Amino acid sequence: MDSPRLIPETLRDRVENLQEAYSKRPQVDCPVRHYFAPGVFAREITIPKGTALFGAVHTTENLAVLSAGRLLLVTDSGLVEVSAPHILTVKPGTKNAAEALETSVWTNFYPNPENETNLEKLAERFTESTASDLLGGSTNKQLLQAQERKDSLCHGE
């Protein structure tokens, strides 16, 4: 018999459990683009309607912008629907999860005072992942599962 959980499940725990459940579903292509300006790095992803997306764990505070579409976000307070344009602050330790109610464009903006352009270094600076583990990377779990099923990337309906 399982013992009751004495520590409340965190948002990160809930998102990781949800991601594990969704990992068995067919994968969908979610294009990722990177942008650079003096002192700024941005990572943008297009999320097709009906797609569930699970982000990396962030190590630094950053801004996220929903510039197009509508998402259902998993938050500490429960599910929250947001529509573009929408800006939020992502806190360190956060692992985002969302379902695209419409095709959406989500961009994270990070401070980049060294003007670094190496995506591996940037991924390791701003997330608990490597660049190859992130969406579009060669060791991304979603990509590997998709290759096994001859599908593509994010979690679709």
pLDDT digits (tens, 9 = 90+) for 17-59: 666 666 666 677 889 999 999 999 999 999 999 998 888 888 9
pLDDT at 1: 44
Is the pLDDT confidence value at 128 over 60?
yes
- Of the two residues 42 and 137, the one the predictor is more confident about is 42
pLDDT bracket for residue 80 (50, 70, 90): very high
- d(C-alpha 30, C-alpha 10), whole Å: 27
| DSSP labels, 101-116 | SS-EEEEEEEEETT--
pLDDT bracket for residue 149 (50, 70, 90): very low
Which CATH superfamily is 15-155 part of? Jelly Rolls (2.60.120.10)
* Helix, strand, coil % over all residues of the chain, rounded to 5: 20, 40, 40
Strand partners, 58: 127
- Of the two residues 22 and 80, the one the predictor is more confident about is 80
Strand partners, 53: 98
| Domains of the chain, residue spans | 15-155
pLDDT digits (tens, 9 = 90+) for 95-120: 778 989 999 999 999 999 999 999 88
| % of the chain beyond a pLDDT of 70 | 66
